Chain A
């Protein structure tokens, strides 16, 4: 148990569906992250929120839309996804997202399959 929870753990959706992934951290951290993990590829950082402000986009397609209503919750809204978006989506948190690296605590991930 890392103190970071993600729901759902598994999600299957069609290309025309709209769904949302949820992440919650119970660590009192101020920074939260979304990562995409595809088979045999490095983790890809998608979004960073520092004190609820988005600070990194990394050229993620607009069909992925993040939302951070407070420091403890992070959402990833999905719409009109493509089959190549199938992957494990990981949420992480850290004390802050400063210039120096901070230890990140990861949730178990949501396994997403796009049909």
Chain B
């Protein structure tokens, strides 16, 4: 089974770019990598998903190297409201519904 590893916590400042890296050993060929954001007292919320290379949407970018053993979520110009826990999720297409969640990275943005 693939296992994801993320830093437990990170700090940054408003206006900075933040990069959070997730390691996922033994990721299978057809697996997708997804990131979620969770605020206190709320369920996780989808941010971005990718398979390889780079994906960008209106809130984040996701970088996946050729070997796909890691991925990096990039948040441009963060604000205080980006303070949350960020989860890396690897979807295993060949092992029904074995969605492997990371333990999450607590990101704290300071003024």
A interface residues (Cβ-Cβ under 8 A, vs B): 2, 4, 40-43, 45, 48, 55-56, 90-92, 97, 99-101, 103-109
Q: Do A55 and B43 touch across chains, with their CB atoms under 8 A apart? A: no
Cα A105 to Cα B41 with chains together (Å): 15
Check if B54 is an interface residue, CB within 8 A of chain A. Answer: no
B interface residues (Cβ-Cβ under 8 A, vs A): 4, 30, 32, 34, 41-46, 49, 87, 89, 91, 93-94, 96-97, 99-104
Cα A104 to Cα B4 with chains together (Å): 19
Q: Do A56 and B43 touch across chains, with their CB atoms under 8 A apart? A: no
Q: What distance in Å separates the Cβ of B78 from its nearest Cβ neighbour in chain A?
A: 22
CB contact between A106 and one of B45, B49, B94, B102 (< 8 Å): that residue: B45
Cα A43 to Cα B98 with chains together (Å): 12
Q: B89 to chain A: which residues have CB within 8 Å?
A: 101
Q: Do A2 and B34 touch across chains, with their CB atoms under 8 A apart? A: no
* A106-B93 in contact given A43-B87, A45-B99 (Cβ < 8 Å): no
Q: Do B101 and A55 touch across chains, with their CB atoms under 8 A apart? A: no
Q: Do A101 and B44 touch across chains, with their CB atoms under 8 A apart? A: no
* A4-B94 in contact given A41-B103, A103-B49 (Cβ < 8 Å): no
Q: Do B101 and A42 touch across chains, with their CB atoms under 8 A apart? A: yes
